[in-house]
Amino acid sequence: MKVLINVIIRFHFVFLFIILEIISIRMVIFEDLEKKNAYFSSANAVSGFFYKRLDNWSAYFSLAHENEMLRTENLELRKSINKNKRTELIDIVKSDTSKTDSEKYTYIPSRVINNSIYKKQNYITIDKGFADGIKKDFGVISGKGVVGVVVAVSQHYSLVVSILNNRFGIGVKVKKSNHFGSVHWLKNNYRYASLFEIPNHIKIAEGDTIVSSGFSSIFPPGINIGNIAKFKTNQSNNFYEIDIKLSTDFKNLYNVYVIDNLMRKEQISLENEVKDEY
Amino acid sequence: MSINIFLRNIGRFIILVFIQVFIFNNIHLTSFGVIPIIYIIYIIILPFETPKWLVLILAFLIGLSIDIFSDTLGLNASASVLIAFIRPAILNYLAPRDGYEIGSFPRVYYQGIIWFLKYSSSMIVIHQIVYYLLESFNFENIGVILFKVIIASAVSLILAIVSQYIVFRK
């Protein structure tokens, strides 16, 4: 025992180094999206406070651009209202039991206070937390399309994993043909992502719109993700290799909406029930 | 005297973390978005007499603080702990024949620009290599990693030297 203590005292520097290095490399490797902790992220109270202050101040410089973006978003919403009115007149006979999308989802407006696009794992901090009703696994969208998913929540701030994160994937479908696949970000370019699992026999073309599939309880179906920029066939596994241009410009991201799915509990409990049985 | 040094070091810690997080984290060089690092100056200019274990712990704490603010959990911490571990060896290697003068610090003013260039460049380059290797976690595009390391190290080294003439003059 005495020898052991002597060894520890003699080599305390090396031991301390090994312990600290193991702790930090463990954090790098096992940094799991599922177990993300708000205290150890930029969504904690201290850093959220300072980022919020900085945003309050720097927001003035982007006001013109933000206004422009909100105006185009308004325009698109106005157009879609007109379209909806027309379709309502056509199918006036509607089943009264199914809930429409507008009843199923609520949206919480929020502001981006910290954002990164050049790392391999990019996260976004927003200025709403559980005090505003945000919980883990809520989807986040911008006026143009999908942004990411909430992974950690503190009282007034939340951490969102953006699509620009190589540990994150999202279920999507081709709008034209309704075939589904998944989008991952592997290219390290903030404008592009990769689309997988679309088999070779399906006809696709450059410019086809990719939207969220709506299978998960996170995003409503039909939210824009991007357009096919280029694709090539891979003969070895019969799937396309597709690059998509993301519709959200992550470099100019100021206002986002957090989506709360009111039927989430029901869907998840049903899915889990079935999973246990079969 | 010693409490004064203690307080000054804590103040320097907080100020460097804030400058790194709120100013330099928003600077993206080249199309790869390389971020210059400035907080490493804290580890570089710790006094010669600082206990080695204390350097390790301080490096870990400053790395972790940067990580928490910029959501890169563990990356800066592991790179900083490694250079804190190598620091005594580098200082030993670069030491003049009769050791460092008592009451001097590892700064340009006391040791000269050539000595400081050798010392800080080796610290910064090792730090950046570890950082970008751990970030990508494979050697897939070694050319890109090398490019990032070179750009980031060069800019950070210039910052470290400029700081010696503006802030840490004595």
Indicate yes or no: CB of B56 within 8 angstroms of CB of A47: no
Where are the alpha helices (H) located in chain A, listed in sequence order? 2-10, 12-29, 45-58, 63-90, 101-104, 264-277
pLDDT, position A167: 85
pLDDT tens, residue by residue, A70-127: 898 888 888 888 777 666 555 555 545 455 555 688 899 999 999 888 888 899 999 9
How many helices (H) and strands (E) would you count in chain A? Answer: 6, 12
Q: How many residues does chain A have?
A: 278
**Percent of chain B predicted with pLDDT > 70:** 98
Name the more confident of A272 and A192.
A192
As for the ipTM of the complex, it is 0.89
- Residue B162 burial by Cβ neighbours in a 10 Å radius (0-12, 13-18, 19+): exposed
In this predicted structure, the answer to whether residue B160 has a pLDDT above a threshold of 70 is yes
Over residues A20-28, the mean pLDDT reads: 91
Token readout for A192 is: 């592009």
Percent helix / strand / coil, chain A, rounded to 5: 35, 30, 35
Residue B81: pLDDT band with limits 50, 70, 90: very high
For residue B68, the chain A residues in CB contact (below 8 A) are 40-42, 44, 47
Residues 6+ apart with CB under 8 A from A184: A166, A168, A169, A193, A194, A196
Average pLDDT, chain B: 89
Q: Which of B73, B75, B141 to mutate to test the interface with A (most CBs of A within 10 A)?
A: B73
Q: What is the DSSP letter of A92?
A: -
Indicate yes or no: CB of B71 within 8 angstroms of CB of A54: no
Distance from CA of A165 to the nearest CA of B (A): 12
pLDDT, position B154: 94
Over residues B83-96, the mean pLDDT reads: 92
Residue in chain B lying closest to A12 (CA): B53
Indicate yes or no: CB of A47 within 8 angstroms of CB of B72: no
In this predicted structure, the answer to whether residue B60 has a pLDDT above a threshold of 90 is yes
Name the more confident of A188 and A171.
A171
Question: B57, B41, B159: which is closest to A12 by C-alpha?
Answer: B57
Of B28, B70, B74, the CB nearest to A31: B74
pLDDT, position B17: 94
Distance from CA of A60 to the nearest CA of B (A): 17
- Cα gap A83→B20, rounded to integer Å: 50
Cβ B94 vs Cβ B118: under 8 Å: yes
Q: Which of A9, A28, A56, A58 to mutate to test the interface with B (most CBs of B within 10 A)?
A: A28
pLDDT, position B18: 92
pLDDT, position A216: 82
- Cα gap A197→B126, rounded to integer Å: 40
Cβ A152 vs Cβ A158: under 8 Å: yes
Residue in chain B lying closest to A26 (CA): B74
Residue A148 phi/psi, 5-degree rounding, is: 175, -160
- Cα gap A118→A257, rounded to integer Å: 23
pLDDT tens, residue by residue, A219-271: 888 888 999 998 888 778 888 889 999 999 898 888 999 998 888 888 888 88
Residue A180 phi/psi, 5-degree rounding, is: -105, 155
Residues 85-144 of B with CB under 8 A from A: 85, 134-137
pLDDT tens, residue by residue, B12-46: 999 999 999 989 988 888 888 889 999 999 999 99
For residue B53, the chain A residues in CB contact (below 8 A) are 12-13, 16
Indicate yes or no: CB of A20 within 8 angstroms of CB of B81: yes
Counted across chains A and B, CB pairs separated by less than 8 A come out at: 85
pLDDT, position B124: 95
pLDDT, position B1: 54
Distance from CA of A254 to the nearest CA of B (A): 15
Distance from CA of A151 to the nearest CA of B (A): 12
Cβ B153 vs Cβ B113: under 8 Å: no
Q: What is the DSSP letter of B36?
A: P
- Cα gap B80→B130, rounded to integer Å: 9
Name the more confident of A216 and A212.
A212
Cβ B56 vs Cβ B85: under 8 Å: yes
Residues 6+ apart with CB under 8 A from A89: none
In this predicted structure, the answer to whether residue A160 has a pLDDT above a threshold of 90 is yes
Residue B164 phi/psi, 5-degree rounding, is: -65, -30
Q: In Å, how far are A123, A140, A147, B136 from A167, measured between CA atoms?
A: 11, 17, 15, 12
- Cα gap A226→A239, rounded to integer Å: 19
- Any A CB within 8 A of B22 CB: yes
pLDDT, position B105: 85
Residue with the two structure tokens 């009769």 = B98
Cβ B117 vs Cβ A64: under 8 Å: no
pLDDT, position A102: 57
Indicate yes or no: CB of A16 within 8 angstroms of CB of B74: no
According to DSSP, the residues that pair with A125 across neighbouring strands are: A114, A159
For residue A154, the chain B residues in CB contact (below 8 A) are none
- Cα gap B62→B80, rounded to integer Å: 8
In this predicted structure, the answer to whether residue A204 has a pLDDT above a threshold of 80 is yes
pLDDT tens, residue by residue, B1-10: 578 888 888 9
Indicate yes or no: CB of A12 within 8 angstroms of CB of B53: yes
Of A24, A116, A117, the CB nearest to B81: A24
In this predicted structure, the answer to whether residue B106 has a pLDDT above a threshold of 90 is no
Indicate yes or no: CB of B134 within 8 angstroms of CB of A17: no
- Cα gap A179→A212, rounded to integer Å: 11
Domain ranges in chain A are 2-30, 42-263
The residue type at A213: S
In this predicted structure, the answer to whether residue A178 has a pLDDT above a threshold of 80 is yes
- Cα gap B9→A278, rounded to integer Å: 61
pLDDT, position B157: 94
Distance from CA of A73 to the nearest CA of B (A): 27
In this predicted structure, the answer to whether residue A171 has a pLDDT above a threshold of 60 is yes
pLDDT, position A88: 59
Name the more confident of B87 and A9.
B87
**Percent of chain A predicted with pLDDT > 90:** 27
Residue with the two structure tokens 């010392």 = B119
Distance from CA of B4 to the nearest CA of A (A): 26
In this predicted structure, the answer to whether residue B77 has a pLDDT above a threshold of 60 is yes
Q: In Å, how far are B39, B43, B87, B155 from B64, measured between CA atoms?
A: 12, 14, 19, 22
pLDDT, position A10: 86
Residues 6+ apart with CB under 8 A from A145: A223, A224, A225, A226, A246, A247, A248
CATH number of the domain at A42-263, please? 2.40.10.340
Question: A196, A137, A188, A139: which is closest to A164 by C-alpha?
Answer: A188
